């Protein structure tokens, strides 16, 4: 079952970006920033890979990824503002949002305050869920948007650049491995699989 989910999500990411292009990058980053498991660690490098192949523009990918992150974060912010922690705990499980993830984001926000929105964007796991406690705390929306944007931009820039570098070495890697496409697919499946496995593991821990 887990293997099927991994394959579906990996194929979904590749298909959406491959078919919809820039719109797909924006949409997937929006979904990921809402707390739904669609990791940007897969989305942005694959987009950068397509940049290296001449199918997309680098800065367009970076800015659309950043704006997608901002819009998704605003949605998560208002969910936290409107429903609070009880709503997140009640319905979050249906999109693999665990109590462990919420606790981690809450502690990070409580410790660093509004700056947590900026620094949290640079950290795995925390970056996906930091918008919820910001909404619960009713953080000033202008400051939230500002910190979200300047935090998401370097993240998208870095991972898109990594994808470009992977693509720029296409011929060299293909000559050595003879099938770089399969390697890319394998790396994407592993990344998505680790993301889902961690969520399911944390969910079972809280249930126990």
pLDDT value at 51 more than 70: yes
- State the chain's mean pLDDT as an integer: 73
The pLDDT tens digits of the residues spanning 21-39 come to: 999 999 999 988 887 767 6
18 vs 109, higher pLDDT: 18
Contacts of residue 117, Cβ cutoff 8 Å, sequence gap at least 6: 109, 130, 131, 134, 139, 143, 144, 147, 148, 151
Residue 160 tokens read as 């898109």
pTM over the 0.75 mark: no
Residue 90 tokens read as 């009640």
For the chain, domain boundaries: 2-207
The pLDDT tens digits of the residues spanning 140-192 come to: 899 899 999 998 999 899 889 988 888 766 455 444 444 444 454 455 455 55
**What is the CB-side half-sphere exposure of residue 122 using CA atoms within 13 A?**
9
Give residue 2's pLDDT band: very low, low, confident or very high (50, 70, 90). very low
C-alpha dihedral, 19 to 8 to 129 to 119, nearest 10°: -60
The closest of 94, 62, 96, 82 to 131, measured between CA atoms, is 82
């Amino acid at each position: 079952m887990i293997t099927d989910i991994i394959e579906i999500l990996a194929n979904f990411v590749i298909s959406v970006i491959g078919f919809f292009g820039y719109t797909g990058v924006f949409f997937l980053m929006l979904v990921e920033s809402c707390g739904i498991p669609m990791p940007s660690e897969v989305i942005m490098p694959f987009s950068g890979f397509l940049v290296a192949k001449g199918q997309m523009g680098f800065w367009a990918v970076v800015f659309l990824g950043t704006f997608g992150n901002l819009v998704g974060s605003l949605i998560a912010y208002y969910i936290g503002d409107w429903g609070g922690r009880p709503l997140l705990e009640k319905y979050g499980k249906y999109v693999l949002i665990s109590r462990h993830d919420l606790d981690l984001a809450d502690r990070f926000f409580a410790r660093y305050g509004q700056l947590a929105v900026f620094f949290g964007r640079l950290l795995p796991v925390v970056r996906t869920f930091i918008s919820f406690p910001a909404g619960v705390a009713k953080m000033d929306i202008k400051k939230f948007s500002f910190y979200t944007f300047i935090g998401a931009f370097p993240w998208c820039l870095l991972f898109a650049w990594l994808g470009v570098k992977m693509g720029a070495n296409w011929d060299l890697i293909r000559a050595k491995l003879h099938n770089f496409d399969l390697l890319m697919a394998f790396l994407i499946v592993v990344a998505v699989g680790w993301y889902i496995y961690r969520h399911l593991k944390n969910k079972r821990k809280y249930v126990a």
